Amino acid sequence: MRRTAAAVILIISLFLCCSGNRGTIEDASKAYTRGDYKTAYRFLKPLAEQGNAYAQDYLGVMYEYGQGVPQDYAEAVKWFRKAAEQGNAPAQTNLGMMYEDGRGTPQDYTEAARWYRKAADQGWPTGQGFLGALYTFGTGVPKDDVLAHMWLSLAISGLPPTSEVRTSMRRHRKIIALMMTPDQIAEAQKLAREWKPKMEQK
């Protein structure tokens, strides 16, 4: 599920980025989509060095998976962090995944939860889903089935209907619900209905 989730994050963020910075970002997106990673990197690297958060996040993904560059988790974390600190929700989710898995940085569930929460608060579905998973197991956060159910519900509603990640999260939520009382489920549903995204506080 992790690799699929990362692909979903990248595809959505590639689409979103192009509305605000046409030209080289759009060219990079096209090159990346057709698998021409060397060209994508050539477009992205200068933008990332100039502080473009979208380009920084893409570079992080390319280093994470060795696409057009040698695979380097530490370098991926570096670029994810630069973008995440600017409030980029996909990068915050990616950085959280690196902390959760201990890739390119020491494993730290509390840090993973912190970065997932930043993305989740902005309404980023994968960040919401991964935060919900942490609440399920009490990893990096106190175990809380109500919050797990709430965050997973929000993630499910924000992901494409055919997404494998969405299917996995629906399955996860169903298992949690089996361990909850009707009152707890009702509370989680109410929290999800009333939830509103927050502006990123840097």
pLDDT along the chain (202 residues), means of 10: 53 46 79 95 95 96 97 98 98 98 98 98 97 97 98 97 94 97 98 90 54
Are 57 and 78 part of one and the same domain? Answer: yes
Instruction: Please report the pLDDT score of residue 19 as a whole number.
Output: 43
> Are residues 86 and 115 located together in one domain of the fold?
no
Residues whose CB falls within 8 Å of the CB of residue 193, separated by 6 or more in sequence, listed in order = none
Q: Which of 107, 131, 164 is the last residue of a domain?
A: 107
**Spatial CA neighbour of 166 closest among 154, 176, 175, 180:** 154
**10 Å Cβ neighbour count for 107?**
12
Beta-carbon contacts of 69 under 8 Å, excluding residues fewer than 6 positions away, are 37, 41, 62, 63, 75
* pLDDT for 70: 97
Residues 59 and 117 grouped into a single domain = no
117 and 73 share a domain?
no
Could you tell me if 45 and 122 lie in one domain? Answer: no
Phi-psi region of 196 (alpha: psi -120 to 50; beta: other; left: phi over 0): beta
- Phi first, then psi, for residue 11 (nearest 5°) are -60, -45
With respect to residue 130, please indicate whether it lies within any of the assigned structural domains.
yes
Closest by Cα among 139, 86, 3, 185 to 11: 3
Residue 21, both tokens:
């910075």
Please tell me whether residues 98 and 122 are part of one structural domain: no
For residues 1 and 96, membership in a common domain is answered with yes
pLDDT of residue 16: 45
| Tokens matching residue 50 | 């100039």
What would the two tokens of residue 198 be? 């927050």
Last residue of a domain, one of 57, 75, 107: 107
- Residue of 75, 67, 16 lying closest to 48 (CA atoms): 75
The whole-model pTM stands at 0.87
Number of Cβ within a 10 Å radius of residue 50: 9
Q: Which domain holds residue 167?
A: 108-195
pLDDT score recorded for residue 200: 66
